[in-house]
Amino acid sequence: MGWREVIVSLNSLGVGDLESIHRRVRAARAEVVAHGHEELAARLDEALEALGQGRMAEFRRLVNQVVSRLGHLKD
């Protein structure tokens, strides 16, 4: 999966049930870990924690940070 696909997946997280959102964030996390971007994976971990606690603004902020950083990486 290229960065474009990860970005599209993360940008469409408002759609679907909670388990679907968790699954997509975990898939994106696995992709960034596979490419050696541990800091981005940690941000996604924080986002999942925020989501689990119902802190939606924090969840969206963290996901947006990851999307922004991914936008600057090359596939």
pLDDT, tens only, 42-63: 999 999 999 999 899 999 999 9
Eight-state DSSP code of residue 37: -
Domains of the chain: total: 1
pTM: 0.82
pLDDT, tens only, 2-33: 888 888 888 877 756 788 899 999 999 999 99
Dist. CA 67–CA 75, nearest whole Å? 14
Q: Is the dihedral of CA 36, 40, 46, 47 positive or negative?
A: negative
Eight-state DSSP code of residue 33: H
Type of residue numbered 7 = I
Dist. CA 75–CA 55, nearest whole Å? 31
9-to-17, 22, 28 alpha-carbon distances in Å: 14, 12, 8
Q: Print the domain residue range for 48.
A: 3-71
